[in-house]
Amino acid sequence: MKTIKRFKKSVSIWIFILLLSAPVSYINAQGLLPGEGSDKDWNFVITPYIWFSALNGQIGVATVEADFDASFSDIFSNMNIGFMMYGEVRYKRFGLAIDLLTVNLGIEGTRPVTGGAVNAEQKVTFLETSLLYSLVHNEKWSADIHLGVRTWWMNTTMDAERIMDLEPIRVESDLSWVDPIVGMNAVFLPHQKWPLNARFDIGGFGAGSEFTWNLQAGAGYRFAKAWTVLLQYRVLGVDYQEGEQGSPEYFKYNARQFGPLVGFMATF
């Protein structure tokens, strides 16, 4: 019931922000480069990417809560599968963008109060869907505003050590939530082959998570007419809590993922 109420609240906030933001625009760090697409009504972007992220923060399930501080090498060595893809379709000044990430990983942490090691396995998927409106698009600058939702699916299993050689505690959580988001991105082209880009968004607002934010910035190299390699640094923070601490329904995810991102952008 609480998840349904949060979803309804999320949708209401999303619609409210959409009405307020109608005359504004968005800047997409992975979208069309300045000067591109001006001679066509329809434009498409596909960007497969790899995010070499680390993670730190707190994760709690039922009676187990732990602090995690995992480097990319820790995460990569325990990653079973991963898929990351950004796509975009534009018609004149309007567009739709989709960012999909799904990973299965294992991380190790410690319990902050009672001590002892905790092993966690997470299956994480987020799907970000945003409406775009182009404010500026010339030979040097591309600028938009984006407005959308970031939907999370997260299955978490935690095994916590116990003292006196007792059997470890195993707890599990499987839930999803929706965060309304609003943000801006920008691309600057100082040279035909070297785009600079930045992106920022905030969201949650208590409708899904209490607060979430995303920051990306970097540069690219256009090595062919339709192909650009991108190098960015990305930080994604989420503060979400469900249920009362210690109850079977309790889940907490207050964490930040951060690290370099490499992508290959195709435009057509």
Query: Cα separation of 145 and 26, whole Å?
Result: 2
Domain CATH for 102: 2.40.128.100
176 in a structural domain? yes
Contacts of 185 (CB under 8 A, 6+ apart): 26, 27, 28, 29, 30, 31, 143, 144, 146, 197, 198, 199, 200
268 in a structural domain? no
pLDDT band at 263 (very low <50, low <70, confident <90, very high): very high
The whole-number pLDDT of residue 225 equals 85
How confident is the model over 13-53, as pLDDT tens digits? 444 433 333 332 222 334 556 656 556 789 999 999 999 99
The whole-number pLDDT of residue 235 equals 97
194 in a structural domain? yes
174 in a structural domain? yes
Q: Which domain holds residue 234?
A: 2-262
Q: How many domains does the chain have?
A: 1
Q: Give pTM, 2 decimals.
A: 0.82
138 in a structural domain? yes
Q: Is the pLDDT of residue 75 over 50?
A: yes
The mean pLDDT of the chain is: 85
The whole-number pLDDT of residue 33 equals 60
129 in a structural domain? yes
